[in-house]
Copies of this chain bind each other. A is one copy, B any other.
Amino acid sequence: MANTPQPGTRERIVSAASLLMQRQGYEGTGIKQVAQEAKATLGSVYHFFPGGKQALGVAAVKHADQEFAAMLSASLSGEADPAKAVAVCARALADHLRDSGWMDGCPISATALETTGRAPEIEQAVAAAFQHWRDLVAGTLREAGFAEGVAHDLAITVINTLEGAELTAQVFRSETPLLVAGEHLARLIDSYRS
């Protein structure tokens, strides 16, 4: 259900919405702009998303969830040591952010902040995405032998810190916050080693 041979209209719309909302936020992104960027028309957008902008937002968040999760598990599985894996992940985020001209930070945090308490469906999709990413980190830690509770708490902080570091790195146009976060998270994880 995910990929048509040539990217179908619906998928182009979701991708465009996801990218635009990542860069401009939810309120800053117009449906007409999404249609134009996706090389689709307004009619198509409302055909696939009768729920309007909110439904489009939910789809965009879910799309970003999947994309980021893929990038996350790729980074995490590349290293046997979870501490090093997290640092590698931070570096990957820094590289991607720099290469995009400091435009592509966390794909959902802007949307998350603008819609908290005002668009429950989007908020729920955002929470699900964060939970999804946490679970990936927690799973990696458990496989490396960390106790359940420790892995759970560490996963929370890993995602939080990467999130915050990405925000700061974007604002300062500097890789430093992400790289420092990688080092500190690795040190924190190591400190729980049995």
Contacts and interface: CB of A to CB of B under 8 A. Distances in A.
Contacts of A160: 161, 164-165, 167-168, 177, 181
Nearest to A124: B171
How many protomers of this protein does the assembly include?
2
A168 to B, nearest CB: 5
B116 A113 contact: no
Contact of A114 (B24, B127, B183, B184): B24
A50 interface: no
Contact of A184 (B126, B153, B180): B153
A168 B162 CA distance: 11
Given A127-B172, A161-B160, A191-B187, A180 B167 contact: no
A102 interface: yes
A176 B149 CA distance: 13
A92 interface: no
A193 interface: no
A10 to B, nearest CB: 26
Given A27-B28, A130-B168, A156-B176, 6 more contacts: A24-B27, A109-B167, A112-B170, A156-B168, A157-B161, A188-B191
Is chain A's interface secondary structure helix, strand, loop, or mixed overall?
Answer: helix
Given A164-B167, A177-B160, A25 B112 contact: no
A55 interface: no
Interface string A113-126: 11011100001001
Nearest to A22: B113
Interface of A: 23-25, 27-28, 101-103, 105, 109-110, 112-114, 116-118, 123, 126-127, 130, 153-154, 156-157, 159-165, 167-168, 170-172, 176-177, 180-181, 183-184, 187-188, 191
A157 B172 contact: no
Contacts of A168: 130, 156, 159-160, 163
